[in-house]
Chain A
Amino acid sequence: MEILALVIIFLIAIYIQGFLLNLFLFYKLEYSCDFSVDKATEGDNIFLEEIIYNKKLIPISWIKAEIYTSKWLEFAGKDAVIAQESRFVTSNFFLKSYQKTTRLWNVKCLKRGCFEIDKITLVGGDFLGAFSDSSAVIDVKTDLLVYPATIALEQYFKPASRFIGDAIVRRWINDDPFMFSGLREYVAGDALNRIHWKATANRGKLMVKKNDFTTNLRTAVILNIQSRDNEPDEVIDKEIIEFGIKVAATIFDKALKQGLPLSFSTNGNVVNGNEYPIITKESVGREHVNELLTILAKLKLKKVQDFEYFINDVSQNYSNTEVIILTSYLTEEICNTIRKIKSGKNTVSIMLLNAVERESLPGDLEVYIPY
């Protein structure tokens, strides 16, 4: 009887611990997972915050959260499992009664994009591995928008022709391109950094700096999402286009700093967007630039219209505008359309994203090529 009692006590105890720990594993257990910020810029270090709170007396011997996200959010280093475009990380915890653990993962944003952690599953069990259970899928729904990084244009581009390049270099690559030509009264839409405070104090009304006609141009950025002519929908040379996106972001940033009205067009579209090219309205200010950066962040590497047709369609939209075209190749048709744009009192600068033979470039157009 004694031996039987011993065996029964052991068996019952093992069963009860497993049964209880499993039965109450997810009872009064709170879990959340969130990025520390909603928006970041490529290269930024942010945090992914996991909070797990065991609001009961029964402890949890082990529990793990399985996190799937993009491989472009770097965390857990070599211990993460990377497969194609996704990163799989398990986050392991043990919880005493009424214990709350807040885990902050160091996350580095490797690439621009719109990233999300949608669902997470928790798996836990007892002390002896006799029982284990997984929770229902938990909706965490946390999003992170990573804006593209800006670059130093002067380090990446040189004018294809020195004679025509200098002026543009001064305007777009150097930081201080404007010629100050006088003062005028403030009108709605003028950027705050153009206010001349001394003159404002002198005259008792808001005065802004007046610039030359040439520098007062509106700015339009056209991005060709295709890396090659006649390429299928999906981009082949992704790195080149990613570089183009960074260049666009840099131009947006400069335009914001200089208070220029800005518009953006591309023959691509954003994630979860429709199947039409993007053509934004012209506007000025931080909010507008943020919207444009959001578009860049969400941009899919897939064309929705061939660039030759696209640039032809948008060519009528510009007058008295500085048009900056970011493309990785030029064809005769594209050059003809650009000439048409130029003839409409516009200044056109072409920034070639891919290295090409200098001789093959059109001599009558202002082209910048990468170093």
Chain B
Amino acid sequence: MNEKKREAILKIMSITAMFLCVYPITSIVRIFFFKEGRGFLDGLFYLAAIYGTFAAVTYIMRKDCTKKNAILAHLFLVIPILTSLVYFFYYGISSMIFGTFITAILCFLAIRSYFKKYHYLIDGVKIYVGIVMILLALTFSLYFEEFKYLKNQFYIFTFIYAFFVLIIKNQSNLDGIFSKRFDKASGIPKRMRSYNIRKILVFFLLIVVIYYFRDGLIVTLRTLGNLLTSVLKSLWNFIKIIMEKLYWLFDTEEINNSNSPEMGYGIIEGGGQNSILNTVFNVIFFLALAFAVYKISTLLIINEFIPFLKNAFKCIFQKIINLFQKVEYKEEKTYYYTDSIERVLPSDISKKSKEKKKMPDINKALRQVEKIQNPKEKIKHLYGFVLKYMYIKGMDIKKSYSTGEIYKKVREIEQLDKPFSEITSVYDRVKYGDKMPEINQVDETKSNTVKSINIIKKTK
């Protein structure tokens, strides 16, 4: 989509959003003052007037001032406004004045938005004013009997408004980030806008779902809260018992006797009379309890339960990821750079077989290269062959690695640096620079491939 179209669509969305927050409150006012309820018909006339004005301004501002454009501009401007006026006049002069006033404001804002940035109408204070207006209308529709029939309509408006605001905010955010003088370099990557819009859509749907199931959510949150409270309570009780035991352990007989002579403090009933024995028992009990707590926490919780949970979560997570896994590899070329985009899942998710493969034959590969007519393809084939050889030899070569990454790994092997760097250099030029290799370059690559394979063969 070109920039102009995108800007126009966003402006239309912005105007619509403005209408969505203005219209509900005007409906409330109209019903309150004129006791008229005409459903969404008013809204349609307002909308027609706004879009008509916007289209008219677009035609007027066009560089080619043809008669056709002038006529279209007049038609777009006059017809909707006149029709609206006639419609409003049908309900009386006061209704017409009110309708004209609202239409005039909306048309004025539509004209302004043409000359300003698309986020002009949904920016700064205007966004808060819009939210207050729409919430006010919603409140009226919820709590006043005479407006109740508008509730669903206003809810729909609120959600559409919210969606448009999110989209415009997102897009203006991207523009703000990447359109500054010092940040314009590579521009906004081609699919960044559409990707962001998709994510905003998902985000919005998530909010709608949460709102729809808000009661269920509240119940779940309450249950969770209760669960947490009970866990905390039991923990507190447990600590309390421990503290009491500790208190008894270090308590002196005199104080205990003076406070409550009849109480026994030992674990064993009746043992409370012998303070030394009591203390010994208490110490043993405390140590046993501490040991048990330590063992349970370390062995059971830390060593068993947490890893079990971790693995279970990981397993579920990997299964979900695998479910959505797509074999994605894309190349996007711009004038300045080439992007290779791929989805690389963690290696443990990969289900690639680890069968032992037969080492490919270099002579066979060279014969195959001879059959290839296109020099570019020859280079690609040779490079691919070296990579395949290295992979089967057990080197850490992955499909997701870039040529630079592979070269860095290869550099560690003695003597392989030079021939492989030359192969990589030619390959890069062919693949990303789109250069046609010369005959001697193909020959050199062949000889470098043979050299590389011989060196790789010798490595363990």
Contact = CB atoms under 8 A, between A and B. Distances in A.
Given A10-B162, A61-B199, A128 B170 contact: yes
Nearest to B175: A129
A89 B186 contact: yes
B209 to A, nearest CB: 10
Interface in B322-354: 328, 335-346
A300 interface: no
Contacts of A36: 403-404, 424-425, 428
Given A36-B404, A61-B196, A88 B182 contact: yes
Contact of B173 (A37, A55, A128): A128
Contacts of B402: 49, 51, 102
B425 A45 contact: no
A99 B324 CA distance: 13
Contacts of A17: 203
Contacts of A53: 344
Nearest to B173: A129
Given A101-B339, A127-B170, A127-B203, 19 more contacts: A5-B211, A6-B158, A9-B207, A10-B207, A13-B206, A61-B170, A61-B196, A62-B174, A76-B185, A76-B336, A90-B185, A91-B186, A96-B343, A99-B343, A102-B340, A104-B340, A106-B336, A106-B338, A129-B177
Contacts of B170: 61, 127-129
B342 A47 contact: no
Interface string A93-118: 11010111111111000000000000
A101 B341 contact: yes
Contacts of A7: 135
A17 B173 CA distance: 15
B138 interface: yes
Interface of A: 2-3, 5-7, 9-10, 13, 17, 34, 36-37, 45, 47, 49, 51, 53, 55, 57, 59, 61-62, 64, 75-77, 79-81, 88-94, 96, 98-106, 125, 127-129, 132
Nearest to A75: B336
A79 B135 CA distance: 44
Nearest to B203: A17
A-B pairs, 6 with minimum CB distance: A129-B173, A89-B185, A49-B404, A102-B402, A90-B185, A102-B340
Contact of A79 (B187, B192, B344): B187
B186 A90 contact: yes
Contacts of B433: 45, 47, 106
B12 interface: no
9 contacts: A3-B135, A5-B214, A61-B196, A62-B178, A81-B184, A99-B342, A103-B339, A106-B338, A129-B176
Given A49-B402, A89-B186, A13 B181 contact: no
Chain A CB count within 10 A is highest, among B337, B342, B425, for B337
Nearest to B339: A103
A79 B199 contact: no
A92 B214 contact: no
A14 to B, nearest CB: 8
A47 B186 contact: no
B291 interface: no
Contact of A92 (B192, B199, B428): B192
A239 B189 CA distance: 38
Contact of B169 (A76, A104, A129): A129
Contacts of B90: none
A281 to B, nearest CB: 25
B236 interface: no
A98 B345 contact: yes
Interface string B189-224: 101100110011001001100110010000000000
Contacts of A90: 178, 182-186
A57 B321 CA distance: 9
Contacts of A89: 185-186
Chain A CB count within 10 A is highest, among B142, B189, B400, for B189
B115 to A, nearest CB: 23
Given A88-B182, A104-B337, A59 B199 contact: yes
A96 B189 CA distance: 13
Contacts of A77: 335-336
B166 interface: yes
B189 A93 contact: yes
A44 to B, nearest CB: 10
B122 to A, nearest CB: 12
B321 to A, nearest CB: 7
Contacts of A128: 166, 169-170, 173
Contacts of B404: 34, 36, 49, 51
Contacts of A103: 337-340
Contacts of B207: 9-10, 13
